[in-house]
Amino acid sequence: MNVHCWAPLLLCVVGTLYAGDSPLRPGLGEVPGTYDVRICKGSCSDAKPDDVVVRGFVVLESKEFDVAEIMEPIRSVFDYGYSWDDKPSGCFVLETLKQNRTYAGITDIGFTHWSWYKGELRFGLYSSPDAWYTTHVTMSEDGFTGQGVSSGAGVAAPPDWGTDVVVGRRTGPQDRMKCIRVAIQRLPK
């Protein structure tokens, strides 16, 4: 058996298995981009606008960035929507339309970190020491759809809110400045 013939194929397979947070997934659409997002209790269809409890936008970037790239005092307006020690790979701005229905929207402007897990794209939109909100979405050519889950421990455990429907519509390329412009508007005068 000629080992040299198999070496390129083996490298290709191993490289694919260990690609990590690749911005591309064949047939699923490209992750980096800016997305209008709706978080709903119910269908989240345009025909049922009353189902929307939180709306806004999410920017998912092609790679992690250092928050020091954003100058103070602008950086201080952002909160963290995720709880692990990774650098952020995105940002978001959310508006809560209906209170006490989900943990999404508690942080109205923040950093997030996206990753792939078992074929789903996941990113957080809220995090505290004892509570968090995580999305589990599937990419498409137009954006993403899936679920969001409010979780917590002890007194922070949410009531029986159930899962949310999360829909993101791609509006353009990744644009962190969209988050920064909102942060600038929120600076004390």
What are the tens digits of pLDDT across the range 76-113?
Answer: 999 999 987 789 999 999 999 999 999 999 999 999 99
pTM of the model: 0.84
What are the tens digits of pLDDT across the range 98-154?
Answer: 999 999 999 999 999 999 998 899 999 999 999 999 999 999 999 999 999 999 998
Average pLDDT over residues 5-18: 35
Domain ranges of the chain: 21-185
* Strands (DSSP E) found in 2-154: 24-25, 29-30, 33-40, 52-60, 79-80, 90-96, 109-112, 114-117, 120-128, 131-139, 143-152
Classify the phi-psi angles of 105: left when phi > 0, otherwise alpha if psi is within -120 to 50, otherwise beta. left
Q: Is the pLDDT of residue 5 over 80?
A: no
Q: Is the pLDDT of residue 19 over 70?
A: no
4 band by pLDDT with thresholds 50, 70 and 90: very low
- CB-count burial class (<10 Å; 0-12, 13-18, 19+) for 40: buried
The pLDDT assigned to 29 comes to: 63
Determine what percent of the chain is predicted with pLDDT higher than 70. 85
Q: Is the peptide bond before 188 cis (omega within 30 degrees of 0)?
A: no
What are the tens digits of pLDDT across the range 170-180?
Answer: 999 999 999 99
Sheet strands side by side (includes 120-128): 79-80, 109-112, 90-96, 52-60, 33-40, 164-172, 143-152, 131-139, 120-128, 114-117
Q: What is the DSSP letter of 31?
A: -
- CA–CA distance, 106 with 148 (Å, rounded to integer): 14
